[in-house]
Structure 1
Amino acid sequence: MKLAILFGGASFEHEISIVSAITVKGKLKGFDLSFIFCDQDHRFYLIDDAKMKAITFSRGEHLKMPQISLVKGGFEQRGMFGSKMHTMPILNLIHGGDGEDGSIAALLDFYAIPFIGPRKEASMLSFDKHYTKWLANSLGIKTLPFEAITQATRSSITTPYPFIVKPSCLGSSIGVSIVREASELEYALDVAFEFDKVLLIEPFISGVKEYNLAGFSARGEITYSIVEEPQKAEFLDFEKKYLDFSRSSTVAEAEVTDGLVEQLRNAFRKIYTPLFEGALIRCDFFVIEGEVYLNEINPIPGSMANYLFEDFSGGIQKLLASLPSKKAIRVQYDYIHSISQAKGK
């Protein structure tokens, strides 16, 4: 089964995407894999399987490999003696901007290329944590209270200490800080504003229970992963999440009741259906006093959350066989023809 892994992108999570692609490569047994790298200037390169190593990109060795371009139905490799088409479904593994903000989804849709990943509407609602809150609340799923601030309103925070400062449109805990007292605030805000124009302020709850659940829909049925209780200190910082992106061994299932598993699955199902059809996503939840709260949606989780599935490769095959199709529109020019005929032209 053919499949191309698309990775890289122009975002703060560019390097993380490379790590994810290398990890997923080792987990997709039985696939005829290709690798398409998007650099920071939005040029696409076809990467040799043997060169799928982090150092290939840090040293710029990808620049010696074939450059390809998006065309209707796939990617075109142009050469001195003609061109070659590469047509296969795409696994969108670009984290952060480009991959999760809807840009790549819109491009692939525009060029009629089938792909695994969130569609543009799902991307927009999950990439921006502010919008994610609105989505969850509209579905009856609880979230922590929050404030959204900009540079102009940074002095008007009313959330009591301690609280968390996070960029609204960034993952991997980049730019995230716990602020316990006023003396720490300005530095935390300066760091976060380096990455985004809008920040979220949320109360910090020490020792809160956190659970992760991934899944996808194929032929109308959701396949759920195991429930994971991530190991953390106070919160999952960048270093811990970065290591997560290279995880390939199945993790231990959380010791939770069947009732809580059902609560988490119900919340996941409400979020997933139908907005995320065609994607494998991971939802991160808090459980506070027996109530489930959505923390965030990972529309393209690190290493595709392979470590949460017993048969990750089989799951990707099922998902590929059940991708949503976009109805083709055929323009007939009937209206223009009727007007022309009425005018005798």
Structure 2
Amino acid sequence: MTAFGNTPRVRVAVLGGGRSAEHEVSLASAVSVRSALDPAVYDVVALTIGRDGLWRDAAGQPLADSAAASLSAALVVLGGCDVVFPALHGPLGEDGTLAALLDLAEIPYVGSGVRAGALAMDKWATKLVAEAVGISVAPGFLVTADNAHEVRFDHPVVVKPVAAGSSHGVSLVTDEADLAPAVAAALRIDDRVLIEDLVAGREVDLAVLRRADGSLVVGPPLEILLEDGRLFDTEQKYDGGARFVIPAPLSAEEHDALVDASLALFAALGCRGVARCDFFLTARGPVLNEVNTMPGMTAQSQVPKMFAHQGLAYPALLDELVRGALAPDAAAEQGRR
């Protein structure tokens, strides 16, 4: 990679942490991104959002002693940067809130805008969008604290918070006695809970990248292999118990169906940068699980591994994302969203 023409190094702020349950995962993503950005091209500024809401500098020192004051100080730092790389996962980051802040401040940033972030974080809204463009989803319904007592068990289901990541609060329920505790656990994370029919199928993920030139590329499919009867839950995601196969062994018909569905979702949600689309591949075709607009971004995360297998190395992937955020059409899109 080379600098952008003869211009000075691009000043990029990399944000990590956040106030969601994915704080530690986000820290790992941010550290990895910062270390992989080419120092010949990029002048990297590290900022972290603590669980307490305070913004902190590279040394871990709060920029001010209250969340509001530290945010104000952070905006000064961000305003001195060319672009922001928000390696934040989950609510109050990936859900469009940070994108809204940066849009208001007119600061370019990597990743999806307000609309796509908010829609994709809301699993119920994502299902509605998917169905509208002809993509199958698992039958399911919403539960809140007001009607949780009305839920009845008559077949295996998956219980999950509507807006959370890394499978926090997700439970597989195969016994009636476990349903109420599962719903209660999910309600501790979000005030809306999604109960879906258990889908029997292979777990296959695809990633869509909008390159700096505006073209779209879909990475090779990744299959997640688990022990029989297990969910790809938080424990499985981070204890090394799951095995990834890249590329997933698929027929041409299966591959094309997954690619078409991923591109359709990327467009319908209005995604930018990179997004990961997670599916169950069933005998009847793909069934959408969820869409992540800021997936894990360490070198060993799923999306970087997919594109590395295709020949796009991790530093080059990050370079594409930053360049894409600085492209003239990207700035116009951010202003509209």
Q: Same fold (TM over 0.5)?
A: yes
Counterpart of 2:53 in structure 1 is 42
Counterpart of 1:76 in structure 2 is 76
Which sections of structure 2, spanning at least 5 residues, go unmatched? Answer: 1-9
Counterpart of 1:14 in structure 2 is 23
SS state at 1:319 partner: helix
Change (3 A) 1:34 1:153: same
Q: Give the letter for the 2:318 counterpart.
A: I
TM-score with structure 2 length normalisation? 0.81
Greater CA deviation, 2-11 or 116-125? 2-11
SS state at 2:100 partner: helix
The answer to whether the Cα contact below 8 Å between 1:172 and 1:242 also exists between their aligned partners in 2 is no
The answer to whether the Cα contact below 8 Å between 2:153 and 2:179 also exists between their aligned partners in 1 is no
Q: Give the letter for the 1:17 counterpart.
A: S
C-alpha deviation, 1:63, in angstroms: 2.4
- Once residues 219 and 38 of structure 2 are traced to their aligned partners in structure 1, the CA distance between those partners, rounded to angstroms, is 19
SS state at 2:136 partner: coil
Structure 2 residue corresponding to 1:33, chosen from 44, 53, 62: 44
Q: Is residue 236 from structure 1 mapped to residue 232 from structure 2 by the alignment?
A: yes
Change (3 A) 1:284 1:63: same
Structure 2 residue corresponding to 1:106, chosen from 78, 89, 100: 100
- Once residues 32 and 189 of structure 2 are traced to their aligned partners in structure 1, the CA distance between those partners, rounded to angstroms, is 26
C-alpha deviation, 1:279, in angstroms: 2.3
C-alpha deviation, 1:94, in angstroms: 1.0
Change (3 A) 1:314 1:328: closer
Counterpart of 1:318 in structure 2 is 320
Counterpart of 1:303 in structure 2 is 297
Structure 1 residue corresponding to 2:205, chosen from 176, 194, 212: 212
Change (3 A) 1:71 1:183: closer
1:97-118 CA deviation, whole Å, 9 max, x = no partner? 1112211000000001100122
Change (3 A) 1:28 1:276: farther
What value does the CA root-mean-square deviation take over the aligned residues?
2.8
- Once residues 8 and 117 of structure 1 are traced to their aligned partners in structure 2, the CA distance between those partners, rounded to angstroms, is 17
Change (3 A) 1:276 1:315: farther
C-alpha deviation, 1:313, in angstroms: 2.2
1:1-345, aligned counterparts within 5 Å?
1-30=10-39, 31-48=42-59, 62-63=60-61, 75-76=75-76, 86-157=80-151, 160-206=154-200, 208-218=201-211, 219-233=213-227, 234-243=230-239, 252-273=246-267, 275-303=269-297, 305-310=303-308, 311=312, 312-323=314-325, 324-326=330-332
- Once residues 114 and 334 of structure 2 are traced to their aligned partners in structure 1, the CA distance between those partners, rounded to angstroms, is 17
- How many residue pairs are counted as aligned between the two chains? 304
Q: Give the letter for the 1:307 counterpart.
A: K
Over the matched positions of the two proteins, sequence identity in percent amounts to: 29
Q: Which has the larger radius of gyration?
A: 1
Change (3 A) 1:34 1:276: farther
C-alpha deviation, 1:277, in angstroms: 4.2
C-alpha deviation, 1:299, in angstroms: 1.0
- Once residues 20 and 151 of structure 2 are traced to their aligned partners in structure 1, the CA distance between those partners, rounded to angstroms, is 28
TM-score with structure 1 length normalisation? 0.79
SS state at 1:302 partner: coil
- Once residues 65 and 313 of structure 1 are traced to their aligned partners in structure 2, the CA distance between those partners, rounded to angstroms, is 29
The answer to whether the Cα contact below 8 Å between 1:228 and 1:251 also exists between their aligned partners in 2 is yes
Q: Give the letter for the 1:76 counterpart.
A: V
SS state at 1:15 partner: helix
Change (3 A) 1:88 1:187: same
Greater CA deviation, 24-33 or 114-123? 24-33
- Once residues 254 and 26 of structure 1 are traced to their aligned partners in structure 2, the CA distance between those partners, rounded to angstroms, is 29
The answer to whether the Cα contact below 8 Å between 1:71 and 1:111 also exists between their aligned partners in 2 is no
1:77-129 CA deviation, whole Å, 9 max, x = no partner? 5xxxxxx9631211111111111221100000000110012211011111111
- Once residues 87 and 70 of structure 1 are traced to their aligned partners in structure 2, the CA distance between those partners, rounded to angstroms, is 15
- Once residues 194 and 327 of structure 1 are traced to their aligned partners in structure 2, the CA distance between those partners, rounded to angstroms, is 36
Q: Give the letter for the 2:56 counterpart.
A: Y
- Once residues 334 and 233 of structure 2 are traced to their aligned partners in structure 1, the CA distance between those partners, rounded to angstroms, is 44
